[in-house]
Amino acid sequence: MLNPDLHLNEKLFDTDVETKATRDGYGTGLLKLGEEDENVVALTADLSESTRANLFQEKFPERFFEIGVAEQNMAAIAAGLGVSGKTVFMSSYATFSPGKNWETIRTTIVYNNSNVKIAGHHSGVMTGPDGATHQATEDIAITRAWPGIDIIVPCDAIEGEKATIATGKKYGPAYLRFSRDKSPIITTQKTPFELGRIDAYWTTKNPECVIFATGYLLYNALVAAYELEKAGTNVLVVNLSTIKPLNDHAVIELTQITGSVVTVEDHQVMGGMGSAIAECLARHLPSPIEFVGLQDTFAESGTPKELVEKYKMSVNDIKKAVNKVIGRK
C-alpha cells in the first residue's frame, strides 16, 4: 500500500488523478527562491517559456539573463556569476545543456565549484513528438561521472519545486532533470523531501523485490506494485530522486529486505540511475537486478504513452521485470 507516513496523493490511483509536468515545479520553485533571496539569478538559452523560467523572468527581469541560442556561453557566464556571490539557475533542454556544453560545465562549473544549478528539461522519451534529437536519454550518465555534483530527478511537479528550492539553498553545482509532458501528482506538500533522502512509497509485508524508480516513471512503478500485489506478489517501490550523492546505506538496507531489484528510469540503462544502484550493490550486496529503461537505442517521434510502451517502460514491462528478477533469486 502507499506508505501512510509520507502524505502521498490519496487519489493517485483514480482515473482522474491530477497531472502536471515536473518542469512546472522548476518554474514555481525558482520563482519562490527569487522572492526569498535577491542573489538568485536565472539564465536561459532561448527557452524561457518552455523551461518555465518565464515566471522568474516576468517578476525579476533585472536578474534574468537571456543568452540566446548559445549553451556554452550560458554555462560559463553562469559560472562567472556563481563565483561572484550569486545563486545561479540555468535552463535549457538537457540534450543541449548539459549535452552540448558538457565540457564547459565540467571545467567552469563543476571543477571550478561555482554555485550553478543546471536545469535539464525535455528529458527522456517522454519529450515525445520532437523525436530523439530532443529526447535527453544520456544526461544522467554524463553528469553522474562528475565529482561533487548533486543530481536530482523529481517524480512530480511538487517534488520538482522542492528539489529546485533545496538545491538553491545549498552552495555548489547541481543537476536537476525535468520532463515535458504532464504526469500524475504523486506527492503532496506534506511529503518529506531532502537531498539524499530515499523513501519507500509503496510498502508491504514480506516483499520479494524492491523497485527503485526515478522521475515520472515512479507512477508506473507504483501502479505495477498495486497490480502485482493483487496478483499475490509483494514489492517495495522506492522514489529514488537523489541519484547523486546516492544514499548507499538505504539502497543496501532495502535490497537486504527483498533480495532482488528492479530499476526504472526514462534514460539509457547504461550509466543511468540503474547503473548507480548496480555499482553500489556490486560492492556491498551483489543481488539480481533488472533494468527498465532505454535498452541501448535511440527512440523516435510519437506520443509519450506510445513511446513508453514501444520502448518497454510501461506498467506491464515493470511487472515482467519484477517477475523475472524474482525468478533469478
- Residue 77 sits in the site that holds other proteins (CB under 8 A): yes
Cα–Cα distance, 252 to 210 (Å, whole number)? 11
Whichever of 34 and 160 has its CB closer to other proteins, that residue is 34
- Residue 85 sits in the site that holds other proteins (CB under 8 A): yes
Q: Per CB under 8 A, which of residues 116..155 are in contact with other proteins?
A: none
Closest CA relative to residue 125, chosen from 325, 303, 323: 303
Chosen residue from 12, 30, 42, 75 binding other proteins by CB under 8 A:
75
Closest CA relative to residue 140, chosen from 283, 270, 299, 309: 270
Per DSSP (E only), the strands in 98-206 are 116-121, 150-152, 174-177, 182-184, 199-202
- Residue 84 sits in the site that holds other proteins (CB under 8 A): yes
Whichever of 67 and 238 has its CB closer to other proteins, that residue is 67
Report the chain's terminal Cα–Cα distance, integer Å: 24
Chosen residue from 19, 32, 83, 172 binding other proteins by CB under 8 A:
83
CB of 61 to other proteins, least distance (A): 12
Whichever of 75 and 198 has its CB closer to other proteins, that residue is 75
Residue 65 per-residue DSSP state: E
Burial class (CB in 10 A: 0-12, 13-18, 19+), 29: buried
Closest CA relative to residue 211, chosen from 225, 196, 197: 225
Is there a contact between 37 and 63 (Cβ–Cβ < 8 Å)? no
Whichever of 79 and 261 has its CB closer to other proteins, that residue is 79
Cα–Cα distance, 62 to 233 (Å, whole number)? 56
CB of 81 to other proteins, least distance (A): 4
- Residue 68 sits in the site that holds other proteins (CB under 8 A): yes
Cα–Cα distance, 141 to 155 (Å, whole number)? 18
Whichever of 81 and 174 has its CB closer to other proteins, that residue is 81
Count each helix (H run) and each strand (E run) in the chain, helices first.
Answer: 11, 14
What is the x/- site pattern for other proteins, positions 92-111, by CB under 8 A? -----------xx--xx--x
- Residue 165 sits in the site that holds other proteins (CB under 8 A): no
Whichever of 171 and 295 has its CB closer to other proteins, that residue is 171
Whichever of 65 and 226 has its CB closer to other proteins, that residue is 65
Chosen residue from 86, 122, 180, 319 binding other proteins by CB under 8 A:
86
- Residue 213 sits in the site that holds other proteins (CB under 8 A): no
Closest CA relative to residue 115, chosen from 141, 74, 138, 82: 82
- Residue 65 sits in the site that holds other proteins (CB under 8 A): yes
Is there a contact between 122 and 95 (Cβ–Cβ < 8 Å)? yes
Cα–Cα distance, 219 to 21 (Å, whole number)? 13
Whichever of 83 and 252 has its CB closer to other proteins, that residue is 83
CB of 35 to other proteins, least distance (A): 16
Is there a contact between 26 and 91 (Cβ–Cβ < 8 Å)? yes
- Residue 50 sits in the site that holds other proteins (CB under 8 A): no
CB of 84 to other proteins, least distance (A): 3
Q: Per CB under 8 A, which of residues 2..41 are in contact with other proteins?
A: 41
The contact set with other proteins (CB under 8 A) reads 41, 62-63, 65, 67-68, 70, 72-73, 75-86, 103-104, 107-108, 111-113
